[in-house]
Amino acid sequence: MVKVAILGYGVVGSGVAEVLANHLDSIARRAKEEIRIKYILDVRDFPDSPFADRFTKSFDQIVNDPEVRVVAEVIGGLDPAFDYVKRCLLAGKSVVTSNKELVAAKGAQLLKIAQDNNVNFLFEASVGGGIPIIRPISQCLAANDVIEIAGILNGTTNFILTKMIREQMSFEDALALAQKLGYAERNPAADVEGHDACRKICILASLAYGKHVYPEQVHTEGITKITLQDVEYAESWGGVIKLIGQVKKLEDGRIQVAVAPMLIDQDSQLANVDDVFNGILVRGDATGDVVFYGKGAGKLPTASAVVADIIDCVKHFKARKYLYWEDGVKDYVLPYEESVVPVYIRAHAQDAEAAAVKAEELFGAVRRLYRDNAPEEELAFSTNQEWSIGDIKAKVDQLEQSGVTVDAVIRISDL
Ligand code: HSE
């Protein structure tokens, strides 16, 4: 029998305990060992929980107990999670986590400690909730050079955008519902400002290209500025707005990476990924496009991935699983201003027709977009040409200097 500990009894932690207890026999068959929860660490009391006798408030009790071979860290955040995970690995325990903030900030360091201590550090649940993506990239697609990864990586924002598009629900109401359903982060700013998706694309980029990409290196925008007008214009353009995390390998060895709302064509494989679902497209040189789809957030989907990692650790006490990337380096990421894209722009001006003429002077031929009941002053268009982000900013400034107020600039993706 293998004894495990769970650090944190929040949405995911309680799901992990539930899955381990409810699937005891099938898990034992797959792991070839019975897996029992010995401790659950939480600062709160849960006297009515079916696991009430396993709760402890002492991390030391867990880290000093040689019977505990695997620890599931589902506290989230960096402090105290980083310290706890490091100490567990140093104590010779394998660790699994759903904590994307931790892996995105400290992945290279923790993978090195795990390697030095001959234990496993696995984090399937950190990206895509219940969708298998870490293992497929590191194992099943290992024969490919990964050309690009692009995905809808945050369930909460996708849920909000879907509610805005389908039900004209306000941003605030949709967010409140996502929180109630257990999708959102403790601080939902991490979802709506794009930081959660940023952490996930960092993890995928680090894994695919073997060098740590840190969140500070990634241009990150959220969905807080997206309005129902933009949603309507996107529809008239022939697509939808989605929050996309995207990374591409460049010929010079650097990578291009960003998280931003993007207009994607209705025919794209990601266009119909709705609600709390995530969709992740991996473009391999041998496989072509492979798309992973499933529930990207929520108690049981995420717990399912954490428990699968626990099983994998139990099966690999003797032979370590190879999962590794190096520390990151400066200048590895293309400066955001240099990335080249077409864009959609929404603006208003006293004379919208004159503003359209000015827009064509600056951006070349543009495609005008229309929506029902738009005020006369409103103007929306997509550029036919691609421009660098730096050029786009300069052209937007020029447009504004001519008396036009630019209300939205959204990149158009090639997905
Ligand atoms: N808040 C995250 C999301 C949870 O909405 O995707 C899963 O990582």
> Residue 279: which H helix or E strand, with range?
strand 277-284
Residues 6+ apart with CB under 8 A from 14: 49, 299
Among protein residues, the one with the nearest Cα to ligand 1's atom 7 is: 297
Among protein residues, the one with the nearest Cα to ligand 1's atom 4 is: 297
Which pLDDT tens digit goes with each residue over 55-110?
999 999 999 999 999 999 999 999 999 999 999 999 999 999 999 999 999 999 99
38, 100, 163, 200: the active-site residue: 200
Which pLDDT tens digit goes with each residue over 340-366?
999 999 999 999 999 999 999 999 999
Distance 176 CA to ligand 1 centre (A): 14
Give the single-character DSSP code of 303: H
Alpha carbon distance 200, 158 (integer Å): 15
User: Has 200 been annotated as catalytic?
Assistant: yes
Which pLDDT tens digit goes with each residue over 95-143?
999 999 999 999 999 999 999 999 999 999 999 999 999 999 999 999 9
Residues 6+ apart with CB under 8 A from 103: 97, 110, 123, 126, 199, 203
| pLDDT score, position 319 | 81
| pLDDT score, position 326 | 96
Alpha carbon distance 307, 83 (integer Å): 22
Three-state SS at 30: helix
Alpha carbon distance 173, 204 (integer Å): 31
- Whether the pLDDT of residue 168 is over 90: the answer is no
Distance 96 CA to ligand 1 centre (A): 17
CA 367 to each of CA 32, 202, 350, 396: distance values in angstroms, whole numbers, following the listed order:
61, 34, 20, 16
The DSSP code sequence of 204-229 is HHHHHHSB---GGGSEE--STT--HH
Residues 6+ apart with CB under 8 A from 106: 78, 82
Which pLDDT tens digit goes with each residue over 287-325?
999 999 999 999 999 999 999 999 999 999 988 887 899
For the chain, the distance separating the N- and C-terminal CA atoms, rounded to the nearest angstrom, is 48
CA 166 to each of CA 15, 140, 264, 274: distance values in angstroms, whole numbers, following the listed order:
30, 36, 16, 10
Q: Which of 154, 276, 302 to mutate to test the pocket of ligand 1 (most atoms within 8 A of CB)?
A: 154
